[in-house]
């Protein structure tokens, strides 16, 4: 088997533009002749199904939940990155591309990531059109906040409920098309197999999870939008036991399986509280936005309450090690740095197997400059 990513030819910045320019278009009057199956109804599935139907195609959408609103996309908290440069701080498609490549540990396909950066601004506009209530500045423009791994503010968000609000918007657009009869929704259906005709996906086989009936469905195109492969890792921030049936069935029929091992390394997790904990508790990435992260310089101070550790005895280790990024260093770098200080015996929080596994956040709020002297602010549970 020869793996072919089907990446368009040409310079990186022009690959997908040239590809789009050469694609054959479908007359609006001919679109109703084509049937598209969309497997999955999260952010990608709902948005794809609604968009195809809006363009005039006949669409069938399948999901194994009892409603598309139950998709796991609801769990995404932080926001969406887009190179709109509302802050006028030097952002661009190229910078978003570079930050995303680095954030993916240089494992992603460059052409695909560049295309992602190109369409990022349109994705925000589509979400707004679907009614997503993004946070806004006083003048009415969409607000941005900083996240780790970037030196610009490019994250569009809806407080700490971005995933939920995005899913409501996509589901609303999907529901509109279901009401118009352009999308047929099949809930509680699990994809069991992919039907290939001359090497192309032309249908699926499903099981009705209520009646147990096994059925075959034909189409002109199959779009699989079933989310990433979430294997079960010990104390990961991933959703444990993700359903990956559709992805595996497509792989068994010959689809290449890229990046099969995905672990979300996150520096904003509440530390382990005991052996019965099955999953790390994820806190918002925005904790690092305008806050600071520290541990005591002296191991003897680790058992003291944070309020008893004077400012000069605190080690703001991310700012010390990565001055250009500070607390906004990329996730994996910040996580490794936090682990290093804990391995040195300077972690804080409860003892777990003789080791303290937390670091302290210092909340500043707004865009106030870090306070480097005076009494410390009240602190919450170590992170």
The closest alpha carbon to 71, from 240, 257, 225, 259, belongs to: 225
CA dihedral 264, 330, 145, 270 (to 10 degrees): 50
Instruction: Tell me which of 95, 207, 331, 356 is the catalytic residue.
Output: 331
- Asked whether the CA dihedral 134, 164, 367, 125 is positive or negative, the reply is negative
Amino acid 315: pLDDT: 96
Using CA atoms, how far apart are residues 203 and 60, in angstroms rounded to an integer?
A: 11
The HSE-up count of residue 37 (CA atoms within 13 Å, CB side) is: 24
| Long-range contacts of the stretch 30-33 (C-beta < 8 A, 24+) | 31/55, 31/56, 31/57, 32/56, 32/57, 32/58
Give the single-character DSSP code of 162: H
pLDDT for 377: 34
Spatial contact of 219 and 60, defined as CB atoms under 8 Å apart: yes
DSSP-derived letter for residue 290 is: S
Given its phi and psi angles, is residue 216 left (phi above 0), alpha (psi -120 to 50 degrees) or beta? beta
CATH 3.90.950.10 fits 32-228, yes or no: no
pLDDT at residue 181, as a whole number:
96
How far is 143 from 133, CA to CA, in rounded Å? 11
From the number of C-beta atoms within 10 Å of its C-beta (0-12, 13-18, 19+), residue 68 rates as buried
Fill in the DSSP letter of residue 299: G
Q: Please identify which residue in the block is written with the tokens 């996509």.
A: 170
Work out the average pLDDT over 148-166.
Answer: 89
When pLDDT is averaged across residues 254-281 and rounded to a whole number, the result is 73
Rg of the chain over Cα atoms, rounded to whole angstroms, equals 24
331 counts as catalytic = yes
Contact 34, 136 (CB under 8 A): no
Q: What digits encode the pLDDT tens for the residues 40-95?
A: 999 999 999 999 999 999 999 999 999 999 888 887 777 899 999 998 999 999 99
Instruction: Give the model's pLDDT for residue 381.
Output: 42
Domain layout of the chain by residue ranges = 32-228, 269-362
Q: What are phi and psi of 214, to 5 degrees?
A: -105, 125
Nearest to 112, CA basis, from 232, 286, 256, 261: 256
Q: Which two tokens stand for residue 132?
A: 């997503």
CATH number, domain 269-362? 3.90.700
Element of type H or E holding 318: helix 317-321
Element (H, E) at 126: helix 110-129
Band (228; pLDDT cuts 50, 70, 90) = low
User: Average pLDDT of 104-133?
Assistant: 90
Average pLDDT, integer, range 6-27: 93
């Amino acid at each position: 088997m020869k793996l072919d990513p089907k990446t368009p030819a040409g310079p990186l910045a022009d690959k997908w533009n040239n590809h789009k320019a050469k694609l054959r278009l479908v007359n609006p009057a001919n679109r109703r002749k084509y049937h598209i199956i969309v497997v999955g109804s999260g952010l990608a599935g709902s948005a794809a199904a609604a968009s195809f139907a809006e363009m005039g195609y006949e669409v069938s959408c399948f999901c194994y939940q009892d409603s598309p609103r139950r998709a796991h996309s609801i769990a995404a908290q932080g926001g969406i990155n887009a190179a709109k440069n509302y802050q006028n701080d030097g952002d661009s498609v190229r910078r978003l591309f570079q930050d995303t490549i680095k954030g993916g540990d240089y494992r992603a396909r460059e052409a695909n990531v560049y295309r992602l950066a190109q369409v990022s601004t349109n994705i925000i506009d589509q979400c707004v059109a679907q009614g997503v209530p993004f946070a806004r500045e006083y003048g009415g423009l969409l607000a941005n906040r900083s996240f780790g791994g970037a030196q610009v503010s490019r994250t569009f968000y809806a407080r700490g409920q971005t995933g939920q609000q995005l899913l409501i918007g996509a589901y609303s657009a999907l529901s509109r098309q279901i009401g118009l009869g352009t999308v047929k929704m099949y809930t509680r259906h699990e994809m069991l197999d992919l039907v290939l005709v001359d090497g192309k996906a032309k249908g699926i086989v499903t099981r009705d999870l209520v009646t147990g009936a096994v059925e075959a469905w034909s189409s002109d195109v199959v779009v699989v939008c079933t989310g990433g492969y979430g294997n079960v890792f010990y104390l990961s921030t991933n959703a444990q036991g993700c359903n990956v049936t559709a992805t595996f069935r497509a792989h068994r029929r010959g689809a290449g399986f890229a990046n099969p091992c995905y672990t979300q390394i996150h520096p904003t997790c509440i530390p382990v509280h005991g052996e019965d904990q099955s999953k790390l508790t994820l806190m918002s990435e925005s904790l690092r936005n305008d806050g600071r992260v520290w541990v005591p310089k002296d191991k003897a101070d680790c058992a003291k309450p944070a309020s008893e550790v004077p400012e000069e005895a605190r080690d703001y280790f991310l700012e010390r090690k990565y001055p250009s990024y500070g607390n906004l260093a990329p996730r994996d770098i910040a996580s490794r740095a936090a682990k290093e200080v804990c391995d040195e015996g300077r972690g804080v929080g409860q003892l777990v197997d003789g080791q303290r596994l937390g670091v302290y956040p210092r909340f500043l709020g707004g865009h106030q400059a870090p306070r480097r002297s005076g009494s410390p602010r009240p602190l919450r549970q170590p992170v």
